Structure 1
Amino acid sequence: MQQIHLLRLRRSISAALACALLLMAVPAKADVVRTVSTEYYMVDGTKPAAIIMNLKRSSPLNEGNKTYQANTRTDIRTTYNIEQRGDSCRITNVIVYLHLTYLYPKLRHSVDFETRKWWRTFYRDLEKHELIHGEISSKAAHKLSDTLENLKPGDCYNFKSTVKVKARRIMNQMKKDQVAYDALTQHGFKQQRNMGRYP
């Protein structure tokens, strides 16, 4: 009998924990729908020197003479309705969709223990750098949502233009923040030194 009570108690505790985790996972205000995907490109080499050389050759991320080993792509889309009352319009039902795509290198071949240890450290630093790019994008998406949701009603003639201008301003600032972050960290080379300044 005692075992049955214990089993029921465990089930109750498990159910309570599951409910708590579910509540924590659902945002109180679902204003930004955020999705993430990760892509990889293959890199040859079995030793650090060869891997570094092949990273430069294999990376799809080229900008002039510069090559980067990882990247974060940001796609932000917004849906909303505009309600009209007389000559006044207001925005409703704002949803911002943010999709982040992280691109990382992946070793094509098995490597020895020391090379694997080096690669894990190298890869971890790439992730730290790119995840902050993702946070900068997330911050912009939330700012866009908040700005549009709190936009005061206005004259219908100029209302759509006002919405577009405010959205464009936030997107342009996000791009500037991404560039400034890369400049500050030299695309991740000085990541540890500047970790406290972003996002």
Structure 2
Amino acid sequence: MQQVHPHRLRRFLSAALAFALLLVAAPAMADVVRSVSTEYYMVDGTKPAAIVASLKRNSPLNEGDRTYQANTRTDIRTTYKIEQRGDTCRVVDVVIYLRLTYLYPKLKHSVDFETRKWWRTFYRQLEKHELIHGEISTKAAYKLNDTLEKLQPGDCYNYKSTVKVKARKIIDQMKKDQTSYDALTQHGFKQQRNMGKYP
């Protein structure tokens, strides 16, 4: 496995950070209820090579012949009311519920100092990658809330479908942003290559 030169890695991480900062701008005041939880799956091995093999074998995250070591699951639930006055409707009482669930590997066995040092570096890169996924989702939740709260009143005939289309557009864009970020980082693989010979 080719090792990434330090200055290229720094350039890449700076680009990823800039990407994240661009995405996370959100209104200061908004009705977004955000909850975060972390789950783990166990990996065997007491040396880096064995741990990497276990990661590939035990990870629940598979896509074709590729295996990923961590994941961010996003669940967004939107609640609101449509208030009607005559033939005019408007959205009121908007609340967005965002639940983020991070999934990471966890060592099953005690390891020596050098392996622990390697593991911490590896794990930090996973966290950096997944936390940006979480920020992309958070940005979308705030934008959804802001969009619905500012939606102008309209004819009740098709107002409900208008609200749904607006909401769907934001969710679809969030999914595209997640995909773009994974393309930039190759699902975090580029971030992880600073581990040396263990990809």
Offset at residue 124 of structure 1 (A): 0.3
After superposition, the C-alpha distances for 1:61-109 in whole angstroms (9 at most, x for unaligned) are 0000000000000000011111000000000010000000000000000
Aligned to 2:174: 174
Aligned to 1:135: 135
Where do 5+ consecutive residues of structure 2 fail to align?
1-26, 194-199
Answer 1 or 2: higher relative contact order, Cα 8 Å, separation at least 6.
Answer: 2
Aligned to 1:112: 112
Amino acid at match of 1:116: R
Aligned to 1:160: 160
Contact kept in structure 1, 2:71 and 2:102, CA below 8 Å: yes
Where do 5+ consecutive residues of structure 1 fail to align?
1-26, 194-199
> Residues 167 and 28 (structure 1 numbering): CA distance in 2 closer, same or farther, change over 3 Å?
closer
Alignment partners' CA distance in 1, 2:29 and 2:83: 21
SS state at 1:110 partner = coil
SS state at 1:79 partner = strand
- Verify: 1:68 aligned to 2:68, yes or no: yes
Contact kept in structure 1, 2:43 and 2:58, CA below 8 Å: yes
SS state at 1:91 partner = strand
Aligned to 1:58: 58
Aligned to 2:185: 185
SS state at 1:157 partner = coil
Bigger radius of gyration among the two: 1
Aligned to 1:90: 90
Offset at residue 188 of structure 1 (A): 1.0
> Residues 96 and 135 (structure 1 numbering): CA distance in 2 closer, same or farther, change over 3 Å?
same
Name the Cα RMSD after superposition: 1.5
Amino acid at match of 2:174: M
Contact kept in structure 1, 2:39 and 2:103, CA below 8 Å: yes
